[in-house]
Amino acid sequence: MTDQIHPWTAFYGPSVRKTIDAPAYRTIGDFVSATAELYGDRPAFTVCLPNGMNGTLSYAQADEMSDAMAVYLREIAGLTTGDRVAIQMPNCLAYPIAAMAVFKAGCVVVNVNPLYTAEEMAKQFADAQPAAIFVVDMFADKLVETMQGHPIPNVIVTRIAEYMPAMPRGIVGLVQKYWDKTIKPITIPHIRLPDAVKAGRAKHAQTHNALEGYRRAIEPDDVACLQYTGGTTGVSKGAMLTHANILMNMEQTMELIEQFEKGKEVALTALPLYHVFAFTVNFLGMFSQGAQNILIPNPRPLSNLKRAFENYKITWISGVNTLFNGLNGEIWFQDTPPKHLKFASSGGMALQGSVAEQWETLTGRPVLEGYGLTESSPILTFNPYGKSRVNSIGVPLPSTEVKCVDEDGVDVPQGDPGELIARGPQIMKGYWNMPEETAKTLQNGWLLTGDVGVMDEDGYFRIVDRKKDMILVSGFNVYPNEIEDTLAAHPGVDEVAVIGVPDGASGEAVKAFIVKRDETLDQNAIRAYCKEHLTAYKVPKSVTFRDELPKSNVGKILRKDLRAEEQTKVENA
């Protein structure tokens, strides 16, 4: 790469490599073991419940337990290299043990949203064909229905309070079983996680070199994780992410972020670890830094984060726009913003300028926006600290190329909008069992993102919108992100989503869905505000007020659900 072709490298810090030839480790299992040996007894993972009850595993404990669990999977459960293993649990101490064990066993992690219905689980299991599953007891009852058509031979059950001290673990168990009644009898054959670890530990003592053998059998280009896309723009697909993909993306991201101090960071993980960003950056990335990772099982309501902020010296947090917007509005957060925070990271959806500005005013620290996709492991671009730009997704990571092209794949002039395409060592191997979809998305070594973006003269990128979300009003392209960002700055607006709806006169019309912060707000006020800030054809023709907007499991507002509602209205009219 040269600076003339890739101007963004001029904005890298002095110690940032422009290219990374290869990851420091062959496999994720190698990485975990070496890093755990380096940080030993330092706290690695801490689960923090809303009432402040907590439990912690050190680097050494997580390493030893995952060693034992890997041996269980191979020697007792009978799995072989490349077998898929589903993990279906919220953030808790059991998650890193399970994921690390799967990697060390030479198997493939299949992350599953614990909130999925039995029907959604069945679709994913039919595609992935897992040979084992780690599941939290709160959701294990759904397996009965799911496994009727897709039996999974090995079921390992855990609980939210697993590996917390005995007293809080017992209290949580009693509350869940008798007060909340969230724990139902598990009627399928299974083993409890601590019992599986114990059995694996005993077997490990008899098979001294087993772990080394598992790791030798896999290559950097072998699939490590089958990460299913969110399905926010269509059918969910399993992105095949290799050991090299994930390790490189972790290393690329940590390379560009120079503010982390190894062995000193305290990360707050409110995003679920089964989400690709939290998986690569929060879970593995912060592990590489020797950080203490504070795991939040459920960040809703946002008051669930209060004790974590009070009890730990949080230096970094990641989230989506809705999380930062919500925290900005919490009285307890306004009264005592985190004192040790270095910065926050945003992704998953557009970071609205007004939200970022309010966060920085409140905390004194910036939210740095990045961009990526499941298919890119996931990070492609990020804003360098001290050189971030408003409404920008930043610059490409080291060893990453990004450009904007037209419908024919030809580079557009600088400053013109075009589809973002990218290539680099973090790009997936392809979609699992979907060669035709792979061919549509990976072309000549480039990943077609489906997002419309613009590159400025310095090589900073800005997302205009999703191609599929663009609204065509009387022949003009209207991008929902722009209108949403404008409306989010209105003091009476809490949340907003914008879509296009059929309109006989103009083809499509702009429609806004708003959650009010000011109850006196009405449609006329919204339209008048937009007329002050937007060209006439961008002003919403109609406004609907809602108590809440549909969101994904990580808090991303789902425009597709709103479009589906509008389509149903048209069909039933």
What pLDDT score was predicted for residue 255?
Answer: 95
3-state SS, 399-411, equals CCEEEEECCCCCE
**Is 139 inside a domain boundary?**
yes
The pTM (predicted TM-score) of the whole model is 0.87
Quick one: tokens of 292?
């203490």
DSSP 8-class letter at 279: I
What pLDDT score was predicted for residue 410?
Answer: 95
**Is 347 inside a domain boundary?**
no
CB of 45 within 8 A of CB of 416?
no
Helix (H, G, I), strand (E, B) or coil at 249: helix
pLDDT average per 10 residues of sequence, the chain (573 residues): 76 94 96 98 97 97 98 98 97 98 98 88 93 95 88 95 88 74 84 98 90 95 92 70 98 94 97 94 98 96 96 96 93 97 90 93 96 96 93 96 94 94 98 95 95 94 84 78 91 94 81 95 94 89 94 87 87 75
What pLDDT score was predicted for residue 383?
Answer: 96
Report how many domains make up the chain: 2
Quick one: tokens of 447?
């990943």
Q: Does residue 335 come out as left (phi exceeding 0), alpha (psi in the -120 to 50 range) or beta?
A: alpha
CATH number at residue 512: 3.30.300.30
Q: Does residue 89 come out as left (phi exceeding 0), alpha (psi in the -120 to 50 range) or beta?
A: beta
Q: Which of 228, 249, 269 is the last residue of a domain?
A: 228
What's at 255, amino acid-wise? Answer: E
What pLDDT score was predicted for residue 429?
Answer: 97
Quick one: tokens of 460?
């900073």
Max CA distance (Å), the chain: 76
Cα(288)–Cα(263) distance, integer angstroms = 9
**Is 133 inside a domain boundary?**
yes
**Is 147 inside a domain boundary?**
yes
What pLDDT score was predicted for residue 230?
Answer: 61
Angstrom CA distances, 21 to 27, 84, 253, 432, stand at 15, 29, 14, 27
What pLDDT score was predicted for residue 155?
Answer: 97
Torsion (CA) 146, 151, 154, 160 in degrees, nearest 10: 0
* Residues 27, 20, 412: CA angle, nearest 5 degrees: 120
**Is 356 inside a domain boundary?**
no
What pLDDT score was predicted for residue 232?
Answer: 41
**Is 131 inside a domain boundary?**
yes
**Is 21 inside a domain boundary?**
no
Residues 6+ positions from 480 with CB-CB distance below 8 Å = 465, 469, 470, 471, 497, 498, 499, 500, 559
CB of 415 within 8 A of CB of 456?
yes
Q: Does residue 106 come out as left (phi exceeding 0), alpha (psi in the -120 to 50 range) or beta?
A: left
Residues 6+ positions from 318 with CB-CB distance below 8 Å = 267, 269, 270, 271, 277, 278, 281, 282, 344, 345, 346, 347
What pLDDT score was predicted for residue 178?
Answer: 67
What's at 390, amino acid-wise? Answer: V
Angle between helical axes of 59-71 and 28-39 (0-180°, round to 10) = 140
Cα(382)–Cα(270) distance, integer angstroms = 20
**Is 39 inside a domain boundary?**
no
CATH number at residue 82: 3.40.50.980
Cα(270)–Cα(54) distance, integer angstroms = 15
Structural domain boundaries, residue 213: 61-171+179-228
Cα(70)–Cα(103) distance, integer angstroms = 8
